[in-house]
Structures are given as C-alpha cells and as structure tokens.
Amino acid sequence: MSTEQDIKDKYHGAPLLSIEQLAEILLRSKDGLRLSLCGDNEVSRKFLPCKLKIGRRVYFRTSEVAKALDQD
C-alpha cells in the first residue's frame, strides 16, 4: 500500500490535511510543527510547497505530503 493511500484511509479519503493531522502523521505537536514551518529548515522546505491557504485556514495537500514523506 502506498503512503498516500495509507493517509487517505486514516483520514477518510480527505484530499487536504489540517495542520493537526499533519502534526499527528509526523509525530509532532501542533505548535512544534507551526514553529518548524516558520523557520528555514528541512521540515519547512519539505512541507511548505504542500501548503494551501483557504481563507485564514492552512491545509496541506495529501498527495504532496505523501510524496514528501516518500522522498526520505
């Protein structure tokens, strides 16, 4: 099974992940992930291209998150 399919199965086929869901996948706290995304580091370079803002909310594209995780 692919990483993308695993994530979609866990989150009921959602094409977008909230920051809370991404933090859960990465085994980080929500606030810790937010701080990491604000800086210039490996985490921000890997996951900021997956980011999508809808209004004031921040989401991450599931397919791009899976690709970023598979690159490791």
Structure tokens at 33: 């992930």
| Number of domains the chain contains | 1
Distance CA 14, CA 9 (A): 8
Q: Residue 13 sits in which domain range? A: 3-70
| pLDDT for the residue numbered 4 | 92
| pLDDT for the residue numbered 1 | 64
SS3 53: strand
pLDDT digit string (tens) for the chain, length 72 residues: 699 999 999 999 999 999 999 999 999 999 999 999 999 999 999 999 999 999 999 999 999 999 999 986
Strand extents, DSSP E, the chain: 16-18, 51-54, 57-61
| pLDDT for the residue numbered 9 | 94
